Amino acid sequence: MGFRDWNKLHIDLKSIEGYVGNHLRFFVSLSIGLIVFVGIIALAVFFVAVRGEEQTMVPDVRGIDLTEALLELQVKELYPRIQLRFSQSASERGRVLEQSPEAGTIVKAGRRIRLVVSQGVVISNVESYVGRTIDEVRMDIQTLSATSMQFLSLKEPFMYQFSPEPPGTILQQRPEPGTAISGPIVLELVISRGPEHEMITVPELAGLSIEEALERIGVTGIRFTFSQRPPRSEEKAETVLSQTPAAGAVVEANTTVSLVVSAPAELAEGEVFALFSYTLPANPYPLPVSLEAALPSGERRHLVTVNHPGGEFTIPYRLPGGATLILSRLNRELYREEIPLFMDSLSLDQL
């Protein structure tokens, strides 16, 4: 091999060494760059993790209803841990009594907040119910039974006696107030019927419109019954034509006043005039009774509210056909009746 060949070979080897060296430096630089990049990402993730969730302030939910408290916690991204406890007042039932952490504490979002919620009162002794109405006592005992383990129940039918106290007032009870409750107790009550021979003065109803008469009956609380007939000459339509006993008569409070009313002279198409009649369950003293109408349009129309002891209950009404009459006593629905859709006389003649 000549000098020129050795020289050429030497030049080629240097070129190869330069080429390899350049690529090796590039590879090393790339590796270092990747390591630095991964390190930066790792540091960023680390600091994010160290920072944690967003901080928030615990709201004050003491004394408010549990539903409202949960909504306030949800807004703050906090979660409840609920504990139930009896309290000293029935009015506190369902309300937050205590909370931990306290209101104003700064915590991380997602923290659980302990809420102590009232589940009502627990009764250890029989209360005094004398002087209260039976309706109030019945509601109280039902509420207590629904909210906690109570052992009180009412013995029915109740015992009644005449008394100067208003009808429905509790006169006596057994067991006596203060009796310790160690197991199931049946409460026996003596309830007032009202005065035995209470006298009232019959109000003036003749000559009033049906609507005015119903309003006055609701105020005076007299017992009543209605009948109806078409108006005669010079008689006003939809008016009380006569009453028995007459106005001004002094009678016992349980006397029924019979009223005769006149029918409308004419009705609009689709209207109905009739007497609603229903026999109410008897009660030892009058209870609030209401009659209202649900019209086909969806409107509710109040017709009358009176105190009624039970028995025959009649009310005149003028309503569109298809309406529904709804009878309630003590806000509890007793009966529904749909008013039929009557055909007009022309249609009947064509049949």
Q: pLDDT value at position 346?
A: 33
Distance (Å, whole) CA 84 – CA 97 = 10
Least confident of 69-73, 181-185, 251-255: 181-185
Let me know if domain 55-118 sits in CATH 3.40.50.300: no
* Position 181 confidence tier, pLDDT thresholds 50, 70, 90: confident
Q: Residue 238 — φ and ψ, nearest 5°? A: 55, 50
* Res. 12: pLDDT tops 60: no
Question: Which of the 8 DSSP states describes residue 165?
Answer: S
Which residue type sits at 240? V
pTM, to two decimals: 0.53
* Res. 6: pLDDT tops 80: no
Structure tokens, 228: 């109806």
Among the listed residues 101, 96, 100, the one whose alpha carbon sits nearest the alpha carbon of residue 117: 96
Q: Are strands 223-229 and 240-244 parallel, antiparallel or unpaired?
A: unpaired
* Res. 49: pLDDT tops 70: no
* Res. 1: pLDDT tops 60: no
- Which residues in the chain are classed under CATH 3.30.10.20? 55-118, 199-350
Let me know if domain 199-350 sits in CATH 3.30.10.20: yes
Task: Name the one residue in this structure whose structure tokens are 């928030």.
Answer: 56
Least confident of 16-20, 150-154, 313-317, 344-348: 344-348
Q: pLDDT value at position 115?
A: 93
Helix (H, G, I), strand (E, B) or coil at 139: helix
Q: pLDDT value at position 7?
A: 54
Mean pLDDT of the chain: 82
- CA-based radius of gyration for the chain: 42
Distance (Å, whole) CA 143 – CA 114 = 27
Q: What percent of the chain has pLDDT over 70?
A: 82
Q: Residue 65 — φ and ψ, nearest 5°? A: -65, 150
